[in-house]
Structure 1
């Protein structure tokens, strides 16, 4: 504070080049950790949406009757919906990996998201492919008897609703994998520098 009024000559800010800079791998690591945390947050949001969809079946298995949920007439879930929910477990593994910069845990996280995240979504796309194709290729002038083949929920095509979910979830999973791979590269570069020293 005492030197506030006095300015030493040669310190106009142009001498910044000799100062220390943060290595690029540390900057990339911090940036990708932050972005991966956001992706995990969106994964949790999508899990809550899926849990809301599965709530009718879960309550039915527990013999709990709630009239408001039963009136929604939510279709019975398929096995892929429960398997996709298991991918949430790997999000905690990913958070633990970025907290400790653990390459091994991050690799397990990547494999888990690939198998339990993308696998069920791919099955969903294939399962509802015919329904979505029928809905998109139907002619408006045809009679309504052809709509019997298309599964509807609350007046909306059920397969198309699942496609919207798959679009969002696959984007989240893609970015999770992208930021995880960037972290692996940054951590390996850091490890290579340590070995070189």
Structure 2
């Protein structure tokens, strides 16, 4: 370490780094996982906006608002799981509040909510459209039969397969939300146990 005059002070050549205080791993992991969880919440909001675009026709119908451009899209009527999944967005505010205050109890509620309002409606969607997707994937292009009629299409695309794409993206976002939340819980518990031993 150099002094003001540029002269090296004896005994402090930087080799004493082993004795310096190091930041505990849980204090390093907490900000990293908080940042990653915030990104997941952002992607959750993007998926919510996508879902709201799909539900817009039904919402406008219930409000007796007629917009020709939306009506011409002929969006299929929504199922109950779509509205339940939309409720999972409210959990993001609980999660953000939990990471702001390092609140373990709120973060646990957030995780349970993601499982209940996030994963379960998506699982219902997978099961509901399973037959449709299977018929579409196993159909023979050359045969002209009635199985083509049974597959629900929207704008020429198989409706069930479009939902499977949404489920794939949403389940990844929810999985990472749970993963980063779990890492935060571990880090916060480790920090709490260190405080108790001090």
Normalised to the residue count of structure 1, the TM-score between the two structures is 0.95
Aligned residue in 2 for 1:195: 196
Distance verdict in 2 for CA 1:15–1:65, change over 3 Å: same
What residue ranges of structure 1 are gaps of 5+ in the alignment? none
Give the Cα separation in 1 of the matches to 2:180 and 2:146: 48
Aligned residue in 1 for 2:162: 161
Give the Cα separation in 2 of the matches to 1:21 and 1:2: 24
How many angstroms does 1:141 deviate by? 0.9
Q: Deviations over 1:114-156 (max 9, x none)?
A: 0000010000000000000000000111116421100000000
Distance verdict in 2 for CA 1:4–1:173, change over 3 Å: farther
Aligned residue in 2 for 1:138: 139
Aligned residue-pair number = 197
What residue ranges of structure 2 are gaps of 5+ in the alignment? none
Q: SS state of the match for residue 15, structure 2?
A: coil
Give the Cα separation in 1 of the matches to 2:69 and 2:11: 75
Aligned residue in 2 for 1:96: 97
Pairs within 5 Å for 1:9-158: 9-143=10-144, 145-158=146-159
How many angstroms does 1:13 deviate by? 3.4
CA contact (8 A) 2:37 2:180 kept: yes
How many angstroms does 1:12 deviate by? 4.1
Pairs within 5 Å for 1:160-179: 160-179=161-180
Give the Cα separation in 2 of the matches to 1:64 and 1:6: 80
Q: SS state of the match for residue 73, structure 1?
A: coil
CA contact (8 A) 2:3 2:9 kept: no
Following TM superposition, the consecutive aligned residue runs of length 4 or more in structure 1 with deviations greater than 6 angstroms are none
How many angstroms does 1:2 deviate by? 7.8
Normalised to the residue count of structure 2, the TM-score between the two structures is 0.95
How many angstroms does 1:19 deviate by? 2.1
Q: SS state of the match for residue 22, structure 1?
A: coil
Aligned residue in 1 for 2:183: 182
Give the Cα separation in 2 of the matches to 1:78 and 1:4: 76
Distance verdict in 2 for CA 1:4–1:35, change over 3 Å: farther
Distance verdict in 2 for CA 1:107–1:50, change over 3 Å: same
- Structure 1 stretch 50-59 or stretch 19-28: which is displaced more? 19-28
